[in-house]
Amino acid sequence: MSHPLPEAPLPHKALDMELKAYFRVHKSLPFRLLGLDLPPDQILNDDTSVVVRELEPDRFFLYRPPGGPHQGLLLESFMDPPKEAQFSDCLLKALILQRDRQVPVVLVFLYLRQGQYATFPDTLEVTGFGGLKNRYQVEVRRLWEYEPEIRNGSLRALAPLLLLWETDPETTGREVLRETLRILETAPLTAEERRESLALTFIVGRRVFSSAVLRAMLGEGQMHEIRESGIIGEWMDEARAEALLAGEQKGRTEGRTEGRLGKAHEWLLRQGERRFRKPTRRIRTALRKIEDEARLDDLALRLLEVETWDELLALG
């Protein structure tokens, strides 16, 4: 069962979340960016339990050719150049993965847009004791440098990201979005790859356009595919499914609407407690006063863009 996508802005980490899901499906794309044409059936999506400052690496792949040595690829994507602490975390994850998996692990930084930045670091240098030095280097790919391959070549599946490096997206965005859809129509994608491509197109597009504009440009058929794909869709489905279940169970005495709202409140409180801390009585009271299911859905999505309960309530 699919559900309408909210008009409110998606959380700022929505793109990062969808990219993780995207490369899980398009698992040969990172290797093609590195100039490697590897059989997809020899590439394994490998989720890990490595925990530093982030919950998990952006994407970790194991390449397992028959009869050959296994190798690992850790892909970390960035909208902006990483700070030193982020760089250190990525190095740590790569080293831990190499130690635990006992395979060579290559760390790649994928920069998604140029923006106002002139440099995109591939090296972390630590200097001390009057000149003693450690130097750590990673592979780097700047996505906008691959635009010809994205528009006409082997990297057409990355077309949903074209809008990220437009200098004036409000003026040229519609044209770029139409070109993105044309490219995806001509790309050799499986049904699953196509769904994730459209979902990523929608999420990138929401940085510029409203849901209403995107729905008009995409059409109902493509919007249906978007609702059925990606981590944002999974999140919405989980929240709404639990709310609906609660409505059915409590509908005999309270009515279906009250039941859905009650369970939506419980789900939001539970997820918020995992992200922040146990809500105070004041927070619980403020949330219980919200009787708009769409607003509760929006707050559930936006849990990822705030750090405290008060910040979340301020968004409402």
At residue 257, does pLDDT exceed 80?
A: no
Domain that holds residue 125: 14-147
> Do residues 240 and 297 lie in contact, with contact meaning Cβ atoms separated by under 8 Å?
yes
Average pLDDT for 73-101: 92
Residue 117 lies in a domain: yes
Residue 164 lies in a domain: no
CA–CA separation, 305 vs 308, rounded Å?
Answer: 10
> Do residues 56 and 74 lie in contact, with contact meaning Cβ atoms separated by under 8 Å?
no
CA–CA separation, 32 vs 29, rounded Å?
Answer: 5
At residue 7, does pLDDT exceed 80?
A: no
Q: Are residues 140 and 248 in the same domain?
A: no
Residue 5 lies in a domain: no
Average pLDDT for 52-65: 68
How many distinct structural domains can be found in the chain?
A: 2
Of 154, 122, 142, 143, nearest to 32 by C-alpha is 154
Q: Given this model, what pLDDT does residue 219 score?
A: 86
Which of the two residues, 131 and 292, has the higher pLDDT score? Answer: 131
At residue 139, does pLDDT exceed 70?
A: yes
Token pair listed for 272: 């918020």
Q: Are residues 139 and 36 in the same domain?
A: yes
At residue 55, does pLDDT exceed 50?
A: no
At residue 10, does pLDDT exceed 60?
A: no
Q: Are residues 29 and 135 in the same domain?
A: yes
Q: Mark which of 120, 147, 174 sits at the end of a domain.
A: 147
Using alpha carbons, list the distances in angstroms from residue 212 to 202, 217, 264: 11, 9, 25
Q: Mark which of 127, 147, 167 sits at the end of a domain.
A: 147
Q: Given this model, what pLDDT does residue 53 score?
A: 41
Those residues with Cβ within 8 angstroms of residue 106's Cβ, 6 or more apart along the chain or in another chain? 71, 72, 73, 74, 94, 139
Q: Are residues 23 and 119 in the same domain?
A: yes
Residue 186 lies in a domain: no
Those residues with Cβ within 8 angstroms of residue 123's Cβ, 6 or more apart along the chain or in another chain? 135, 136, 137, 138
Q: Mark which of 147, 165, 181 sits at the end of a domain.
A: 147
Residue 136 lies in a domain: yes
CA–CA separation, 153 vs 29, rounded Å?
Answer: 12
The C-alpha R_g of the chain, in whole angstroms, comes to 22
Q: Are residues 142 and 20 in the same domain?
A: yes
At residue 76, does pLDDT exceed 60?
A: yes
At residue 69, does pLDDT exceed 60?
A: yes
Residue 157 lies in a domain: no
At residue 236, does pLDDT exceed 60?
A: no
Q: What is the DSSP string of 196-244?
A: HHHHHHHHHHTTTS-HHHHHHHH-HHHHHHHHTSHHHHHHHHHHHHHHH
Residue 109 lies in a domain: yes
Which of the two residues, 229 and 89, has the higher pLDDT score? Answer: 89
Alpha helices by DSSP H, listed for 102-190, are 147-152, 169-186
At residue 60, does pLDDT exceed 80?
A: yes
CA–CA separation, 313 vs 135, rounded Å?
Answer: 44
SS3 for 28-80 is CHHHHHCCCCCCHHHEEECCCCCCCCCCCCCEEEEECCCCCCCEEEEEEEECC
Residue 196 lies in a domain: no
> Do residues 81 and 119 lie in contact, with contact meaning Cβ atoms separated by under 8 Å?
yes
